[in-house]
Amino acid sequence: MCGIVGYIGTKKACPILLAGLTRLEYRGYDSAGISTIEKDCIKIVKDKGRVKELENKKEIKDLQGTVGIAHTRWATHGKPSKENAHPHKDNSNTFSVVHNGIIENYYDLRNLLEENGYKFYSETDTEVIPNLIHYYYKKELAINNEHTVQTFLRVVRNACLDIKGSYALEIISKDFPEYMIVVRKDSPLVIGTCKDEKYISSDIPAILSYTRDFYFLNDLEFAVLKNDDIKFYDTNLNQIDKKISNIEWDAMSSEKNGYEDFMLKEIYEQPTAIRETIGSRISVDNKCEFEELPLTKKELENIDKIYIIACGTAMHAGLAGKNVIEKLCRIPTEVDIASEFRYRDPIINNRTLSIFISQSGETADTIAALKLAKKSGSKTIAISNVIGSSITREADYSIYTHAGPEIAVASTKAYTSQVILVNMLAIYFAEILEKSNKEEIRNLKKEILELPKKIGETFNCAERIKQFAKKIYQEKDVFFLGRGIDETVAKEGSLKLKEISYIHSESYPAGELKHGPIALIESGITVIGILTDKLLVDKTVNNIQEVITRGARTLIITNQNVNYSMFDEVIIIPKVNTFLSPILSIIPLQLLAYYISKEKGLDVDKPRNLAKSVTVE
Ligand code: G6P
């Protein structure tokens, strides 16, 4: 995926754009570029490589303009190269564009433009955009040689109407040097505003140090920006009003604050993230509150099926939450991978409730699945960490995790916040439905409130995990085993390890081991077992015994009484209600992935080939 930043104001744009790009590098980091307006001409400096390399280029010092756009790329169309890096300009050097998303019909558009004499210098889909804008601009000028910003807006709008696909665009023009136009469709873009300055970005944290006041665009809404003015337009170019949203996140939370990496910082932020996400929603003696979710008993009684739909780590949070919903609400709950759900003709009707979990709120597959569910009559709830994100604008209801900005590609605090939120949602529904045992709910609430402290205690394992990482960092394969809710944590632990240490790992329900994977177990292989469910612990121990017999090295994460001497390493975590155990048992596994990655000298926060927010299919 890509990240875009823009600035229009009274200061030199380049340093602001570079700082923004550095913060957005998690979204893509194979090339970077900046374009500014310089004395009525457009300048572009770009190349493959990271933002740091762009910053060190000689030409970057020539960029003095106060209007600029910038981009960090994660290649989709065309390899990482200077030619393919953004910004892209049209043949006449009139328009410069950065783009996050994918133009699906770029081939047709490119043919049309080539037939009209345009030449292309890159392999990207994006290069059609400035040329298409110019194509309409030329037509306009042929009819009417008027140079108002309305002309600029009209030609950008005309181009957008031709484009199929997803895009967040920033466009500047040498003919309109005081303006910038931005528009989005199915790709993220936020606008930060101050008196004489406007900041544009793919996400809030990248520009949070400048302003807390943000505007959010809906699909195909256009913003015409000047340093001291913003006007918004719908697709028909009627002017529309937009409300400013005040974002409460602390700017410091987007910095490393003395930690070596964002991931480590975010792991240690989990007690706060959980405390903030619980907020005032839970107290032992009162009913759980979700003001933003005004569902009645009648509406909930009408629901006969719940889907939880998400991707990656967010999907694992859904798996960890499925059981608590079924147990407390007695409504069958299915967890689906968004990219599968959207193409498998799922059974949805007006008795279905679909819950979509997404840290960023911008994951393309999750948004598409949401649109499908909504179209088929389902009620939809978005769970996101980002206020105003696309998913929250599409869903009937939105509830937020308050984990604060998560910068590292590998998700940690967002996962545990999602798990706690789904637990609270289950309690909220159960209390409205008056279905479950009051004492059971009361106990669960008590345990939820104790969680931040227990997470703090779990961090005591860090040093031992670090030492264990030193022993296994050169391994080629690692297995994660668990049963029930522990298996969902095995999945997430295995994903963390793959993502940032590049070690091949598999997660299995412990009982499935004997149906094939045990053939892979040989002397010295590492097997990690998660044992927190009292009812299943003996069964899992038996399965782990089988791998010990075959020479495996074992690490156990547990809060149960088991014969510790059987295993090579045992990490004891605090006792906790089984529904909440993923929030504690994942912590040693997050730390393990982190320390292995460090031991291997890898870039923990920006693992190869991955992007934090996957805004294309
Ligand atoms: C990407 C990230 C994962 C994340 C997934 C879903 O694959 O690398 O860390 O879990 O997207 O992201 P979301 O923002 O929808 O939670």
CB atoms within 10 A of CB 347: 10
How confident is residue 391, by pLDDT bands cut at 50, 70 and 90?
very high
Q: Residues 115, 242: one domain?
A: yes
Bond into 607 cis (ω within 30): no
How confident is residue 251, by pLDDT bands cut at 50, 70 and 90?
low
Choice from 359, 400, 418 to test ligand 1 binding pocket (greatest atom count within 8 A of CB):
359
Residue-wise pLDDT tens digits, 145-202:
777 999 999 999 999 999 998 899 999 999 999 999 999 998 889 999 999 999 999 9
Residue 53 in any domain: the answer is yes
pLDDT greater than 70 at residue 291: yes
Does residue 385 have its Cβ closer than 6 Å to ligand 1? no
If one counts the domains in the chain, the total is 3
Half-sphere exposure of 210 (CA within 13 A, CB side): 25
Q: Residues 98, 60: one domain?
A: yes
Q: Which two tokens stand for residue 434?
A: 């008056």
Q: Residues 367, 303: one domain?
A: yes
322 three-state secondary structure: helix
612 within 8 A of 500, measured Cβ to Cβ: no
Least confident of 127-141, 152-166, 393-407: 393-407
Percent of the chain residues topping a pLDDT of 90: 78
| Residue owning tokens 């490119």 | 110
Going by C-alpha positions, the residue among 155, 54, 159, 69 that lies closest to residue 109 is 159
Q: What average pLDDT does the segment 242-256 reach?
A: 78
pLDDT greater than 80 at residue 29: no
Going by C-alpha positions, the residue among 333, 543, 305, 312 that lies closest to residue 411 is 312
Output the CA 252–ligand 1 centroid distance in Å. Answer: 23
Does residue 339 have its Cβ closer than 6 Å to ligand 1? no
Q: Residues 260, 243: one domain?
A: no
How confident is residue 80, by pLDDT bands cut at 50, 70 and 90?
confident
Report the Cα 485 to chain-centroid distance in Å: 24
Does residue 407 have its Cβ closer than 6 Å to ligand 1? no
Instruction: Report pLDDT for 86.
Output: 94
Instruction: Report pLDDT for 573.
Output: 97
Output the CA 611–ligand 1 centroid distance in Å. Answer: 8
Q: Residues 229, 167: one domain?
A: yes
Residue 615 in any domain: the answer is no
| 359 against 29, higher pLDDT | 359
Output the CA 238–ligand 1 centroid distance in Å. Answer: 36
pLDDT greater than 90 at residue 513: no
381 three-state secondary structure: strand
Does residue 495 have its Cβ closer than 6 Å to ligand 1? no
Instruction: Report pLDDT for 178.
Output: 96
Q: Residues 195, 68: one domain?
A: yes
Instruction: Report pLDDT for 1.
Output: 65
89 within 8 A of 96, measured Cβ to Cβ: yes
Residue-wise pLDDT tens digits, 420-444:
999 999 999 999 999 878 899 999 9
Index of the ligand 1 atom closest to the CA of residue 411:
9
Going by C-alpha positions, the residue among 313, 318, 198 that lies closest to residue 589 is 313
Q: For the chain, what is the mean pLDDT?
A: 93
User: Which long-range contacts link 146-154 to residues 24+ away (Cβ below 8 Å)?
Assistant: 147/175, 147/176, 149/176, 149/179, 149/224, 152/176, 152/179, 152/181, 152/224, 153/181, 153/222, 153/224, 153/233, 153/237, 154/237
482 within 8 A of 489, measured Cβ to Cβ: yes
First-to-last alpha carbon distance for the chain, in angstroms, is 10
Helix or strand holding residue 258 (H, E): none
Residue-wise pLDDT tens digits, 457-484:
999 999 999 999 999 999 999 999 999 9
Residue 611 in any domain: the answer is no
Instruction: Report pLDDT for 430.
Output: 96
pLDDT greater than 90 at residue 386: no
Does residue 389 have its Cβ closer than 6 Å to ligand 1? no
Instruction: Report pLDDT for 252.
Output: 65
pLDDT greater than 80 at residue 256: no
The sign of the CA dihedral 429, 430, 432, 435 is positive
Output the CA 497–ligand 1 centroid distance in Å. Answer: 15
Q: For atom 4 of ligand 1, which residue has the closest CA?
A: 312
Index of the ligand 1 atom closest to the CA of residue 310:
15
Q: Residues 240, 305: one domain?
A: no
Instruction: Report pLDDT for 610.
Output: 84
Distance CA(43)–CA(110), nearest Å, equals 24
Range of the domain at 114: 3-247
Instruction: Report pLDDT for 555.
Output: 96
Residue-wise pLDDT tens digits, 38-58:
987 999 999 998 899 999 999
Does residue 173 have its Cβ closer than 6 Å to ligand 1? no
Distance CA(411)–CA(562), nearest Å, equals 30
**Of 223, 247, 271, which one is at a domain's C-terminal end?**
247
Instruction: Report pLDDT for 376.
Output: 95
Output the CA 610–ligand 1 centroid distance in Å. Answer: 9
Residue-wise pLDDT tens digits, 547-589:
999 999 999 999 999 889 999 999 999 999 999 999 999 999 9
Instruction: Report pLDDT for 24.
Output: 85
Instruction: Report pLDDT for 213.
Output: 94
Does residue 193 have its Cβ closer than 6 Å to ligand 1? no
pLDDT greater than 70 at residue 412: yes
Domain with residue 587: its CATH number is: 3.40.50.10490
Instruction: Report pLDDT for 28.
Output: 67
Q: For atom 7 of ligand 1, which residue has the closest CA?
A: 312
Output the CA 246–ligand 1 centroid distance in Å. Answer: 25
Does residue 100 have its Cβ closer than 6 Å to ligand 1? no
Instruction: Report pLDDT for 253.
Output: 67
Q: Residues 48, 157: one domain?
A: yes
Q: Residues 174, 285: one domain?
A: no
**Phi-psi label, residue 434: left if phi above 0, alpha if psi -120 to 50, beta otherwise:** left
What are the catalytic residues? 2, 612
CA distances from 603 to 265, 471, 540 (A): 15, 20, 34
Residue 539 in any domain: the answer is yes
Output the CA 312–ligand 1 centroid distance in Å. Answer: 5
pLDDT greater than 90 at residue 205: no
pLDDT greater than 70 at residue 369: yes
pLDDT greater than 70 at residue 416: yes
List of residues 6+ apart from 401 with CB closer than 8 A: 273, 277, 359, 383, 384, 385, 414, 417, 418, 420, 421
Instruction: Report pLDDT for 151.
Output: 96
Residue 28 in any domain: the answer is yes
Q: Residues 324, 429: one domain?
A: yes
| Residue owning tokens 């170019």 | 237
Residue 442 in any domain: the answer is no
Q: What average pLDDT does the segment 355-361 reach?
A: 96
Q: What average pLDDT does the segment 5-10 reach?
A: 97
Index of the ligand 1 atom closest to the CA of residue 363:
15
Residue 607 in any domain: the answer is no
Domain with residue 90: its CATH number is: 3.60.20.10
Does residue 358 have its Cβ closer than 6 Å to ligand 1? yes
Choice from 186, 187, 266, 311 to test ligand 1 binding pocket (greatest atom count within 8 A of CB):
311
| Residue owning tokens 């991931």 | 263
**Of 247, 277, 298, which one is at a domain's C-terminal end?**
247
Q: Residues 274, 307: one domain?
A: yes
Least confident of 126-140, 154-168, 279-293: 279-293
DSSP string, 537-606: HHHHHHHHHHHHHTT-EEEEEESS---GGGSSEEEE-----GGGHHHHHHHHHHHHHHHHHHHTT--SSS
Does residue 615 have its Cβ closer than 6 Å to ligand 1? no
Residue 108 in any domain: the answer is yes
Distance CA(132)–CA(414), nearest Å, equals 40
**Of 225, 247, 269, which one is at a domain's C-terminal end?**
247
Output the CA 568–ligand 1 centroid distance in Å. Answer: 33
How confident is residue 109, by pLDDT bands cut at 50, 70 and 90?
very high
Q: Residues 55, 172: one domain?
A: yes
Does residue 87 have its Cβ closer than 6 Å to ligand 1? no
